[in-house]
Structure 1
Amino acid sequence: MFGWFKRIDVQVSPEIKGAIALEGKPQADMVIKRGTFFDDSWSWESTSTDADGHFYFAEKLVKARPVLYERQVGLQLLAVDYPKKGDEDLFFRMGESHDFKSPTRDLLTDGMYCELSAEYTMSYLKFIENPSAVWRGFESKCRFLHADKVVVSQAELDVAELERRWRTIHQLLSALERSAKVLDTDQYARDDMQEYIEGGFETVQSIPELETDSQKLSTLPALKQQFQTYQDLLNKDEQQ
Structure 2
Amino acid sequence: MFRQKPFALLMAALSFLIFIVFSQQVTADMFAWFKKKELQLSPKVTGQILLNGQPVQGITVLRDLNYGDELYTDKEITDQEGHFSFPPKTIKIKDSMFDTDVKHSLYVERQSEVIKFFGISSLNTLDFNSFNVLLKHMTCELTHPDYGLDLKPDPSQPGVYLGAISKCSFADESVVTNKEKME
Report TM bin, short chain.
Answer: 0.7 to 0.9
Q: Equivalent of 1:3, from 32, 56, 63?
A: 32
> Quick check: 1:56 aligned with 2:56?
no
- For residue 43 of structure 1, report the CA deviation from its aligned partner: 2.4
> Quick check: 1:27 aligned with 2:56?
yes
TM-score relative to the length of structure 1: 0.59
**Partner Cα distance (2:154, 2:99) in 1:** 23
Q: Equivalent of 2:95, from 66, 71, 84?
A: 66
**Partner Cα distance (1:35, 1:131) in 2:** 24
Query: In the alignment, which residue of structure 2 is the partner of 1:99?
Result: 125
**Partner Cα distance (1:134, 1:65) in 2:** 21
**Partner Cα distance (2:156, 2:91) in 1:** 25
Query: In the alignment, which residue of structure 1 is the partner of 2:176?
Result: 151
The letter for the 2-side match of 1:44 is T
Q: Report the 3-state secondary structure (helix = DSSP H, G, I; strand = E; otherwise coil) of the residue aligned with 2:130.
A: helix
> Quick check: 1:75 aligned with 2:101?
no
Relative to 1, partners in 2 of residues 1:12 and 1:152: Cα closer, same or farther, differing over 3 Å? Answer: same
Query: In the alignment, which residue of structure 2 is the partner of 1:113?
Result: 139
Q: Which structure 1 residue ranges, 5 or more long, are not aligned?
A: 158-240
**Partner Cα distance (1:130, 1:11) in 2:** 15
> Quick check: 1:12 aligned with 2:41?
yes
- For residue 62 of structure 1, report the CA deviation from its aligned partner: 1.1
Q: Does structure 1 conserve the Cα–Cα contact (< 8 Å) formed by 2:154 and 2:160?
A: no
Q: Report the 3-state secondary structure (helix = DSSP H, G, I; strand = E; otherwise coil) of the residue aligned with 1:45.
A: strand
The letter for the 2-side match of 1:53 is G
Q: Does structure 2 conserve the Cα–Cα contact (< 8 Å) formed by 1:126 and 1:133?
A: no
The letter for the 2-side match of 1:50 is D
Relative to 1, partners in 2 of residues 1:131 and 1:41: Cα closer, same or farther, differing over 3 Å? Answer: closer
Q: Report the 3-state secondary structure (helix = DSSP H, G, I; strand = E; otherwise coil) of the residue aligned with 2:137.
A: strand
Q: Report the 3-state secondary structure (helix = DSSP H, G, I; strand = E; otherwise coil) of the residue aligned with 1:101.
A: coil
Extract structure 1 runs of 4+ deviating beyond 6 A.
none
TM-score relative to the length of structure 2: 0.76
Query: In the alignment, which residue of structure 2 is the partner of 1:180?
Result: none
Q: Highest relative contact order (Cα 8 Å, sep 6+), 1 or 2? A: 2
- For residue 120 of structure 1, report the CA deviation from its aligned partner: 1.0
The structure richer in helix per residue is: 1
> Quick check: 1:86 aligned with 2:112?
yes
- For residue 106 of structure 1, report the CA deviation from its aligned partner: 0.9
What value does the CA root-mean-square deviation take over the aligned residues?
A: 1.9
The structure richer in strand per residue is: 2
The letter for the 1-side match of 2:176 is V
The letter for the 1-side match of 2:39 is V
Percent of pairs identical after alignment?
27
Written as runs of structure 1 = structure 2, the 5 A alignment for 1:107-146 is: 107-127=133-153, 129=155, 133=159, 135-146=161-172
Aligned residues between the structures = 151
The C-alpha deviation readout for 1:116-148, integer Å capped at 9, x for no partner, is 00001211101354697454211010001110x
Q: Report the 3-state secondary structure (helix = DSSP H, G, I; strand = E; otherwise coil) of the residue aligned with 1:80.
A: strand
Q: Report the 3-state secondary structure (helix = DSSP H, G, I; strand = E; otherwise coil) of the residue aligned with 1:152.
A: strand
Q: Does structure 2 conserve the Cα–Cα contact (< 8 Å) formed by 1:104 and 1:129?
A: no
